[in-house]
Amino acid sequence: MSRPPTYLEGLQRALHSHFENEPKAVILGEDIVDPYGGAFKVTKGLSSSFPDRVFSMPICESSITGMGIGLALRGFKPVVELMFGDFSTLAADQLVNHAAKFPAMYGQGVSLPLVVRTPMGGGRGYGPTHSQSLEKMFLGIPNLSVVSPSLAHDTEKVLTNALNREEPTLFIESKTLYPLPIYKGNKEVSIESLAHKDGYPIAIARNYSPDQKPDLLIIAYGGASLPVLETLEHYKEEEIHCIAAFPANLSSPPLEELATLGALARRIVIADEGHETFSWYSELSHSLQQILFGQLEAPIQHASATCELIPSNFEQETEVILSKAKIEAAATKALEW
Amino acid sequence: MTGESEVFFAKALLIRSFEKELLRRYGLGQFKGTVHTCIGQEACAVGVMAGIDLSKDVVFSAHRAHGHMIAYGCPLDKLAAEVMGKPSGLCSGAGGTQHLHWKNFYTNGIQGGMAPSALGAALAEKLNNSGAIVTIFIGDGTMGQGTVYEAFNISSTLRLPILFVLENNHIAQTTPTNETHASSFCQRAAGFGIDSRSIDGNAPETVAQTVGELAKQIRISNQPAFLELDTTRLGPHSKGDDTRSRQELEEIAKRDPIPRLEKLLPEDQVSQIQESVRTQIESAFEQLN
Ligand SMILES: Cc1ncc(C[n+]2csc(CCOP(=O)(O)OP(=O)(O)O)c2C)c(N)n1
């Protein structure tokens, strides 16, 4: 009864409500109909409840995505599922040259309410082409929102907000987080939600009491939130006061709020699951440095996957992808600067 | 019959004159970027638009779409302003020659990129039970793109009300199509279970009649159809980029649809139409002087 929903269940609920409330809702994807209900089960039950609005598609990510665009142009509220985020490269032309272009290019009140959902991230031994975090390829494209809920978010609310915003949105889910209960906090770590004007809340995690000051701010999103939360729990024992901020809107991060927390902690680590260099963390640390120059005790540190192929072998994969060990190494650097 | 030819001649001449005026102004440096004209292919545009229901059908096209838009009924002044990059244009000058939108008509500058959108629009019309169909224009060069074949497969499988119109002018930018494509386009579409036909695209009467039949069939059956229009690009790809020999150009000029239509009409009617077209072009471009 009191168990919080899992990351996956929140997403399922958001889709069900969308279909219940919105007669123009449709979804297209590969293997999404029951009894299978999608490779990661996000669409489970949907085709049984709404058989005429769930479309099982052939393997052609560009057309599936583009059909969502055509449907959205013509008044529908489509959702597209790409089975693995790695396949987003095949949909890139549709996202970048079509979805992101039409509303601004055609003008005259053309809107494009399209949400393209896809899971990213490693940790499950799927190997080089099924484990990447490629969302950075879609950041910095005008009029394309990139969004991802963390484990400390109400995933139902985040997906519902994406559906309600009625703009082309690439919605990144986390393969490792799907089965986990939403993180509501415990005796080590407390969670709160900071509202933001775009409707995407910033989830805040803290391992000290509100009347104390933080030693360190960690910023992360999506699947990276899990090792960050583990770091906070560990640092509770070490008595390192740590606050973590998980924005959900990656393409337009809430800079002011993050800078305020950064000014308070004076030491910052940014973690993301992408390969290191030319990354979300590098852009964000640049932006924060513009605001916080002179106010920090240490240069902003980062933790990420190394710039290597992600192997299937478990031990080798663990070496490459983001981990608690990498986050703590970056934190140590910031704390000991 | 004269009535129909009169309309086709008037529309084809309007498109031809509009695009010649654009090229003239481009030559004078009045606008930058590019401009793709359909000189020699006007009958395709005029014929197709005469065969569909302009009050509700949805149309997608690509970079060479001025003719399609004019035949669809788009206001000339707004189109002219858009191609010339003016804020008073259809898309406030953001679109230029190849990114156009008016009513149910959409174009974009990525070859083959609109095929998936057209499928989505066709699914929308089917779900709405609107009785409308989607028409998408593609070129022979664009038959190299995978999205086109994905669209054949999906439209056939999902039974979508869509008409693929292939304007085969036998050249893509500077590449002759027989150097890059080895098999019949019609047979390719037919291989996906799509009713496929190939006709002379420079005879608007035939185009209109065939499109009318196919459109009716699509509306009733919710099955896609494919129509190849054999046509001629008499001008360059965009401005001065024609690499074909003079001899080849002279040969294809014999198929120019406009003199052919003109011959079907009495002289006084021809001059009346020419006069009316001149006035329309003048008033369309007046704001841009
Ligand atoms: C994806 C893509 N590749 C290349 C181009 C550049 N390009 C524009 S038109 C064109 C030729 C298209 O040929 P075709 O489809 O036969 O149409 P036509 O120009 O003959 O009307 C090319 C190569 C483009 N716009 N989009």
In the structure, how many helices (H) and strands (E) does chain A have? Answer: 11, 12
Tokens read off for A318: 């663990």
Which atom of ligand 1 lies closest to the CA of B168?
Answer: 16
Q: Which residue has the tokens 């449907």?
A: A71
CA of B169, closest atom in ligand 1: 20
pLDDT band at B131 (very low <50, low <70, confident <90, very high): very high
A&B contacts, CB < 8 Å: 109
Nearest C-alpha in B relative to A106: B91
| Pairing verdict, β A268-275 and A301-305 | parallel
Q: Which pLDDT value is given to residue B239?
A: 85
CA distances to A198, B95, B257 from A112, in Å: 17, 17, 39
Q: In this structure, are residues B89 and B102 in contact, taking their beta carbons and an 8 Å threshold?
A: no
Edge-to-edge strands of the sheet including B134-139? B101-102, B105-107, B58-61, B134-139, B162-168, B225-230, B195-200
Which pLDDT tens digit goes with each residue over A223-282? Answer: 999 999 999 999 999 999 999 999 999 999 999 999 999 999 999 999 999 999 999 999
pLDDT tens string A309-320 = 999 999 999 999
Confidence of residue B242 (pLDDT cuts 50, 70, 90): very high
**Residues on chain B touching A78 (C-beta within 8 angstroms):** 120
CA pair distance A150, A172, nearest whole angstrom: 10
Tell which one of B63, B114, B232, B242 to mutate to probe ligand 1, the residue whose CB is within 8 A of the most ligand atoms. Answer: B63
φ, ψ of residue B35 to 5 degrees: the values are: -155, 125
Q: How wide is the angle at C-alpha B86 spanned by C-alphas B83 and B90, nearest 5°? A: 65
pTM exceeds cut of 0.80 = yes
Chain B residue nearest residue A77, CA to CA:
B124
Contacts of A336 (CB under 8 A, 6+ apart): none
Chain A positions in Cβ-Cβ contact with residue B127 (cut-off 8 Å): 26, 52-53, 76
**Residue A160 pLDDT exceeds 90:** yes
Domain boundaries, chain A: 7-174, 190-335
CA angle B222, B228, B230 (to 5 degrees): 160
Query: In this structure, what token pair is assigned to residue A37?
Result: 């209900």
A293 C-alpha to ligand 1 centroid (Å): 49
Architecture of domain A190-335: 3-Layer(aba) Sandwich (3.40)
Mean pLDDT of all residues belonging to chain B: 97
What is the rounded distance in angstroms from the CA atom of residue A246 to the CA atom of residue A326?
Answer: 18
> What is B258-273 written as a DSSP string?
HHHHHHTS-HHHHHHH
Measured CA to CA in angstroms, residue A91 lies from A61, A84, A282 at distances of 5, 12, 25
Structure token pair of residue A205: 């995690």
Residues of B in contact with A33 (CB under 8 A): none
**Mean of pLDDT values over A56-69:** 98
Say if A7-174 and A190-335 have the same CATH topology.
yes
- CA B142 to ligand 1 centroid distance, Å: 6
Contacts of A56 in chain B (CB under 8 A): none
Determine contact, residues A42/A15, Cβ cutoff 8 Å. yes
Tell me what the mean pLDDT of segment A99-103 comes to. Answer: 97
How far apart are the C-alpha atoms of A138 and A117, rounded to whole Å? 13
One DSSP character per residue, chain B reads -HHHHHHHHHHHHHHHHHHHHHHHHHHTTSS-S-----TT-HHHHHHHHHHS-TTT-EEEE-SS-HHHHHHHT--HHHHHHHHTT-TTSTTTTSSGGG--EETTEEE-SSTTTHHHHHHHHHHHHHHHT----EEEEEESGGGG-HHHHHHHHHHHHHT--EEEEEEE-SEETTEEGGGT--S-HHHHHHTTT-EEEEEETT-HHHHHHHHHHHHHHHHHH---EEEEEE----S-SSSS---S-HHHHHHHHTT-HHHHHHHTS-HHHHHHHHHHHHHHHHHHHHTT-
The label of the residue with tokens 């793709």 reads B36
pLDDT surpassing 90 at residue B244:
yes
State whether residue A103 sits within 8 Å of chain B by CB: no
The answer to whether B90 and B79 have CB atoms below 8 angstroms apart is yes
Structure tokens at B184: 């019949």
Using an 8 Å CB-CB cutoff, list chain B residues near A53.
Answer: 127
Chain B residues close to A62, C-beta within 8 Å:
116, 146-147, 150
For residue B259, what are its two tokens?
Answer: 């003199």
Q: Smallest CA–CA separation between B124 and chain A, in Å?
A: 6
B120 and A55 within 8 Å at the Cβ level: the answer is: no
Show the ligand 1 pocket: residues with CB < 6 angstroms.
B 63-64, 109-111, 139-142, 169, 171-173, 233, 237
CA dist B162 to A280, B61, B67, Å? 41, 13, 20
> A7-174: which CATH topology?
Rossmann fold (3.40.50)
**Ligand 1 nearest atom to the CA of residue A93, by list position:** 1
pLDDT in tens, A79-96: 999 999 999 999 999 999
- Residue A110: pLDDT above 60? yes
For CA atoms B132, B137, B143, B147, the dihedral sign is negative
Residues 6+ apart with CB under 8 A from B249: B234, B242
Query: What is the C-alpha separation between A334 and A142, in angstroms, rounded?
Result: 33
Q: Is the Cβ–Cβ distance between B112 and A98 less than 8 Å?
A: no
| Residues ≥6 apart with Cβ < 8 Å to B63 | B36, B97, B98, B107, B109, B111
**Residue B2: its pLDDT value, please?**
57
What is the Å distance from ligand 1's center to B131 Cα? 31
Do residues A11 and A156 touch, judged by C-beta distance below 8 A?
A: yes
* Closest approach of A86 to chain B, Cα-based (Å): 19
Binned at pLDDT 50, 70 and 90, residue A120 comes out as very high
pLDDT higher at A250 or B1: A250
**What is the C-alpha to C-alpha distance for residues B155 and B224, in angstroms, rounded to an integer?**
6
DSSP A126-145: --TTSS---GGGGTT-TT-E
Report the distance separating Cα B120 and Cα B134, nearest Å. Answer: 10
Residue A224 parent element (H or E): none
Give dist(CA B196, CA B166) in Å, integer. Answer: 11
Task: Look at residue B25 in the predicted model and tell me its pLDDT.
Answer: 97
Rounded distance between C-alpha atoms, residue B64 and residue B104, angstroms: 17
What pLDDT is recorded for position A188? 96
Chain CA centroid to CA A204, Å: 15
Contact criterion met (CB below 8 Å) for B59 and B74 = no
A163-213: per-residue pLDDT in tens? 999 999 999 999 999 999 999 999 999 999 999 999 999 999 999 999 999
Assess contact for B135 and B52: CB atoms under 8 A: yes
Q: Cβ separation of B110 and A68 shorter than 8 Å?
A: no
A97 reaches B (C-beta below 8 A): yes
pLDDT at position B1:
47
Q: What is the DSSP letter of A96?
A: I
Task: Give me A92's structure tokens.
Answer: 């890139």
Both tokens assigned to B10: 């008037």
Index of the ligand 1 atom closest to the CA of residue B143: 15
- Dihedrals φ, ψ of A145, to 5°? -85, 140
Per-residue pLDDT reduced to its tens digit, B157-209 = 999 999 999 999 999 999 999 999 999 999 999 999 999 999 999 999 999 99
Residue whose CA lies nearest to ligand 1 atom number 23: B173
- Give the closest of A66, A75, A76 to B117, CB-based: A66
Q: What's the B119 CA to ligand 1 centre distance in angstroms?
A: 20
Which atom, in ligand 1's list, is nearest to the CA of B36? 19
